[in-house]
Amino acid sequence: MIIPPFSKQAMTDFKEKYEELLKENSILRRENEFLRAKSGIDHDLRTSGQREKTSRENVLLEHLIDSIPEAIAIIDLEDRVVMVNREFTDLFGYTPGEAVGRYADELIIPEDLKHDSVKPSEIAFENHRVTRNTIRCNKAGKRINVSLIATNVLIDNEIVASLGIYRDISIEKKNQTIQEILYNISTAALNQTDIKEIYPTIVQELSKIWDTNNFFIALYDKASDTLSMPFFSDEKDQFERVPARKTISKWAIGLKKSVLLKVNDMKCLENSGDIALVGAPCKVWMGVPLKAEKEIIGVMAFQDYHDEDKFSQEDVTVLEFIANQIAIALQRRIMIDNVIMASRKAEEAAQSKQQFMSTMSHEIRTPLNEVIGITNLLLQGNPREDQMDYIKTLRFSGNHLLTLVNDVLDYNKMESGKIEFEKTSFNLSDFLKDIQRTYSFRSKSKNLEFDITRQNELPDDLIGDPIRLNQILSNLLSNALKFTQKGGIHVFLKALERTAGSTKIEFIVKDTGIGIPKDKHDYIFESYTQASPDTTRHYGGTGLGLAICKRLVELQGGHIEVESETGKGSAFRFVLSFGIAEKSEITQKGDAPESYAGLEGKRILVAEDNKINFFVANKFLNGWGVKVTHAENGRIALSLLEKEDFDLVLMDLHMPVLDGIEATRIIRNSDDPRIRDIPVVALTAAIMSETHDRIDNLNINDYVLKPFKPRDLFEKILKNVR
Ligand code: ADP
């Protein structure tokens, strides 16, 4: 639409007229009149005076409409274009001459979106105004994202035409798509477990902007000078891995810049020897390097075999931006994968170390049990005075070694979470008496004092895990003994809280030994650590005791801490909660029997595969007057039980053919009460053995830890025998 230039007078007239029109609020009506005039609806109204006035108004309105920066089309009720403005011509490429009279649908609505045309009836339904983002196409057939406002033109409430206002939102849309693409690719890079799974996402996302039928991602390996294609899609070629040599990709990687090459550019490069084309020749090649931390890791490229104008410089810019983000996402993913891999390896290494330690400890423990067992036998056999010293040293060293091995095994079990705590009733006074007996004896030999003080009223009958409590206190007391040369060791117990069913008890193990520097207070609770590098040399130890104590206390919901200074002794304090038992729950232990009397004539079946262990047990049992029958595995034990009567079974839990756990399960399920109810005392290498969860519910009457202490074995048999 050509607008004639305006004179000054015409402009003043226009201004006045416009204000007048505004005053009358009749712009719309006048516009409609204009429309009618345009479409020849209202010929009759045009008298000559009016005609002059109307023509000025027309010019004014046409100017107004042309000045608006949005494309406008006025469409009559038959869907024919009546008028378009200048922006419409700019956006869609149709001059008014080309557009007016054509069906609007034919003009700018793409074939596949014909259903998307907005009819006056639909606009009327939406209160005469419809707003939507959609796609229209220009004269050349290029699709354009537009925001459309369609309104009806009404005269006396009757629809006479409709008005379409189009705004080009391609750039907004593209930016939004790019954001979306980047977001989806970064998310995929973080979420996919395998980096290979990211490439299809990249392709799918890029296809939102470009045709990805001829697209590839090539990663460059400098060492072998090869390009590997984690993604390759091409109408004509198929590559997975190619020598990089003189490919365009390698050339682009070397250039470190994005490139857009058309046929002639490629020919020039080929002639100059910069590139040697591989595969079918294309019309256009657009590639961008994948940069990760200054290093180019590969290239991402689009090709087209038909149209050399398929990609523009603008496409290169956009692709470059996306490629940078992709490279960062890939790099981040590779880093995460490396971290995951490293931690997995570390975990595996830790696990195999743990496995090795467990196996070794187990393996060492078996012969060690035998040595200690034989030593105990030797001590029973009235050795000569000079032999006595050797045997006692042998027993001491054996026991010490066994403690170390058990510590390693225990710690590994705790690390792998295979630890359960018992909730049994026990008598605190009896428990403390045992501690007192053991440690006063050991303290005396070092000329140290030893006492246990109850600082307030403590319940005597507790529910908890006495074996673990003993383990914690023994570790602390052994340390106190080890690191104290003069003075003494004192244990204090105090009830911190008490309710009807439970109590919280504070235990303090205090010594007057060498003390621990303040900066080492946390450190010593870690595994395999000692306060000073020469501790092992002077005092021995593995640095595991306190780590075990800490774990044992914390796993039971308590806490442990130390108060100490170099040269001023140490005080280890821990707090644990216990249940309070009914009196009747405790089986009164009474004093230990003075002699080994009471088992004479009893028939005991010993199921034990280890010959030396059996030899030792047999010696003791015979000494106590017991009639012993030997079974080398669970199966033999069961068949002996069928045939003979016994008063008790001493059952090793680890045995070939049929182990003690299975054998006990069969015994407890037997229909014959003579077999089902027989007392079973288990012989086990460690209470925390991995079989622990399998022994629950087995109804084993008691446990004797190997290597057994003769007194312990005797008491447990006496307590349970028929
Ligand atoms: P270990 O005694 O086998 O070396 P622990 O974990 O039991 O390992 O103890 C770690 C370190 O803490 C000891 O090596 C020692 O340096 C210090 N320590 C522990 N208890 C005491 C104590 N009662 N007095 C002085 N130092 C102690």
Is residue 178 predicted with pLDDT exceeding 90? no
Of residues 570 and 410, which shows the higher confidence score? 570
Q: How confident is the model at residue 5 (pLDDT cuts 50, 70, 90)?
A: very low
Q: Is 231 helix (H, G, I), strand (E, B) or coil?
A: strand
Is residue 474 predicted with pLDDT exceeding 50? yes
Quick one: angle between helices 660-668 and 634-643, nearest 10?
Answer: 30
Q: How many CA atoms lie within 13 A of 296 on its CB side?
A: 22
- Kindly calculate the radius of gyration of the chain based on its CA atoms and give it in whole angstroms: 47
User: Which residue among 400, 411, 524 has the greatest number of ligand 1 atoms within 8 angstroms of its CB, and so is best to mutate?
Assistant: 524
Q: What is the pLDDT of residue 21?
A: 45
- The closest residue, in CA terms, to atom 2 on ligand 1 is 541
What is the pLDDT averaged over residues 278-305? Answer: 87
Q: How far is CA 533 from the centre of its chain?
A: 37
- DSSP tag of 493: E
What is the pLDDT averaged over residues 17-31? Answer: 47
Q: How many CA atoms lie within 13 A of 660 on its CB side?
A: 26
For the sheet with 648-652, list strands across it: 627-631, 603-607, 648-652, 680-684, 702-705
- The closest residue, in CA terms, to atom 20 on ligand 1 is 479
What is the pLDDT averaged over residues 544-562? Answer: 91
What is the pLDDT averaged over residues 599-610? Answer: 92
Does residue 242 come out as left (phi exceeding 0), alpha (psi in the -120 to 50 range) or beta? beta
Closest atom of ligand 1 relative to the 572 alpha carbon: 23
Question: Which has the minimum average pLDDT: 109-113, 146-150, 420-424, 462-466?
Answer: 420-424
- The closest residue, in CA terms, to atom 14 on ligand 1 is 530
Cα separation, 682 vs 706, in Å, equals: 10
What is the pLDDT averaged over residues 446-474? Answer: 90
Q: What is the pLDDT of residue 353?
A: 78
Q: Is 514 in the pocket of ligand 1 (CB under 6 A)?
A: yes
Number of other residues whose CB lies within 10 A of the CB of residue 22? 10
Going from the Cα of 479 to the center of ligand 1, the distance in angstroms, rounded, reads 6
Cα separation, 61 vs 149, in Å, equals: 19
Cα separation, 211 vs 410, in Å, equals: 63
Q: What is the pLDDT of residue 323?
A: 84
The answer to whether the Cα torsion of 11, 13, 16, 19 is positive or negative is: negative
Q: What is the pLDDT of residue 694?
A: 56
Q: How confident is the model at residue 9 (pLDDT cuts 50, 70, 90)?
A: low
Q: Is 541 in the pocket of ligand 1 (CB under 6 A)?
A: yes
Q: How confident is the model at residue 191 (pLDDT cuts 50, 70, 90)?
A: confident
Q: CA-based angle 696:700:701, to the nearest 5?
A: 135
Of residues 387 and 333, which shows the higher confidence score? 387
Going from the Cα of 530 to the center of ligand 1, the distance in angstroms, rounded, reads 6
| Model pLDDT for residues 298-336, shown as the tens digit of each residue | 899 999 999 999 999 988 988 888 888 778 777 777 788
Q: How confident is the model at residue 434 (pLDDT cuts 50, 70, 90)?
A: confident
Q: Is 683 in the pocket of ligand 1 (CB under 6 A)?
A: no
The model carries a pTM of 0.46
Highest mean predicted confidence (pLDDT) among 420-429, 525-534, 618-627? 618-627
Q: How confident is the model at residue 138 (pLDDT cuts 50, 70, 90)?
A: very high
Q: What is the pLDDT of residue 108?
A: 93
Of residues 103 and 53, which shows the higher confidence score? 103
Going from the Cα of 454 to the center of ligand 1, the distance in angstroms, rounded, reads 25
Q: What is the pLDDT of residue 689?
A: 46
User: Which residue among 483, 509, 519 has the greatest number of ligand 1 atoms within 8 angstroms of its CB, and so is best to mutate?
Assistant: 483
Of residues 329 and 498, which shows the higher confidence score? 498
**Mean per-residue pLDDT over the chain, rounded:** 83
Q: What is the pLDDT of residue 24?
A: 46
- The closest residue, in CA terms, to atom 23 on ligand 1 is 480
| Model pLDDT for residues 505-517, shown as the tens digit of each residue | 999 999 999 999 9
Of residues 213 and 532, which shows the higher confidence score? 213
Percentage of the chain modeled with pLDDT above 90: 35
Q: Is 648 in the pocket of ligand 1 (CB under 6 A)?
A: no
Q: What is the pLDDT of residue 688?
A: 47
Q: What is the pLDDT of residue 51?
A: 64
What is the pLDDT averaged over residues 539-552? Answer: 84
Percentage of the chain modeled with pLDDT above 70: 88
Q: Is 411 in the pocket of ligand 1 (CB under 6 A)?
A: no
Question: Which has the minimum average pLDDT: 252-266, 268-282, 403-417, 685-699?
Answer: 685-699
Q: What is the pLDDT of residue 40?
A: 47
Which backbone phi and psi does 172 adopt, to 5 degrees? -55, -45
Q: What is the pLDDT of residue 168?
A: 94
Question: Which has the minimum average pLDDT: 118-127, 186-195, 198-207?
Answer: 186-195
Q: Is 549 in the pocket of ligand 1 (CB under 6 A)?
A: no
Q: What is the pLDDT of residue 607?
A: 95
Q: Is 476 in the pocket of ligand 1 (CB under 6 A)?
A: no
425 sits in which H/E element: strand 424-427
